[in-house]
Amino acid sequence: SEKIAVVPGSFDPVTFGHLDIIKRAADVFDTVYVAVLNNSSKRPLFSVEERMALMAEVTKTLPNVRIESSSGLLIDYAKEKKAKAIVRGLRAVSDFEYEMQITSMNRFLDETIETFFIMTKNQYSFLSSSIVKEVAKYGGDVRELVPVCVVAALKEKYDFTK
């Protein structure tokens, strides 16, 4: 039967690190749902619509990847999509403790959904959306860290001459 995975995240904004994980998941699973999360306590820089549009643009060459937003419990969303796998990216060891906590809670909530971890490319192991926003805010060059449409979106957000 069709093997479906969910790749959840805030993607505020999507980086090459995220894209690397999504591409690897799309290689393994028949269908991948990227779930742009709309329930973070912190105020995101980009709206959920902007984050979905950027994600759609950077994954448009991947025919088995669908972009959706979700604001409820991740395991409820996964069940709704008939996904039996949640896929998360791991960068450095520092990610592991938090991911373990989330994964054990999800298993407690729903034993039937498994979480898989994909190690991101070494060159992206320092990369995060927050560090990219910091660099872009002060005019740094992020062209090797995020796709070109995200470079433009960041310039737009941080153009203080407007």
Ligand X SMILES: O=C(O)c1ccc2[nH]nc(Br)c2c1
Instruction: Write down the catalytic residue from 10, 24, 88, 129.
Output: 129
CA–CA gap between residue 105 and residue 126 (Å, rounded): 26
List all residues 6 or more positions away from 117 whose beta carbon is below 8 Å from its beta carbon: 87, 88, 89, 90, 99
Query: For ligand X, which residue of 36, 48, 129, 150 counts as binding (CB under 6 A)?
Result: 129
Interface with ligand X, residue 89, by CB under 6 A = yes
Between 47 and 82, CB nearer to ligand X: 47
Smallest gap from Cβ 5 to ligand X, in A, equals 15
In the residue annotation, 129 being an active-site residue is answered as yes
CA–CA gap between residue 60 and residue 106 (Å, rounded): 30
Measure the N-to-C terminal CA separation of the chain; round to a whole number of Å. 52
Instruction: Write down the catalytic residue from 1, 41, 42, 162.
Output: 42
Q: Which stretch binds ligand X (CB under 6 A): 23-31, 42-50, 128-136, 140-148?
A: 128-136
Interface with ligand X, residue 18, by CB under 6 A = yes
CA–CA gap between residue 100 and residue 112 (Å, rounded): 17
DSSP 15: -
CA–CA gap between residue 30 and residue 3 (Å, rounded): 5
Between 82 and 98, CB nearer to ligand X: 98
Interface with ligand X, residue 133, by CB under 6 A = no
Smallest gap from Cβ 48 to ligand X, in A, equals 16
Rule CB under 6 A: which of 101-120 touch ligand X?
Answer: 120
Smallest gap from Cβ 120 to ligand X, in A, equals 4
In the residue annotation, 130 being an active-site residue is answered as no
Looking at the DSSP bridge assignments, the partners of residue 9 are: 36
What order do you get walking across the sheet with 114-119 strand by strand? 65-70, 31-37, 4-9, 85-90, 114-119
Smallest gap from Cβ 61 to ligand X, in A, equals 19
In the residue annotation, 91 being an active-site residue is answered as yes
- Which residue ranges make up the site for ligand X (CB under 6 A)? 15, 17-18, 21, 89-91, 95, 120, 128-130
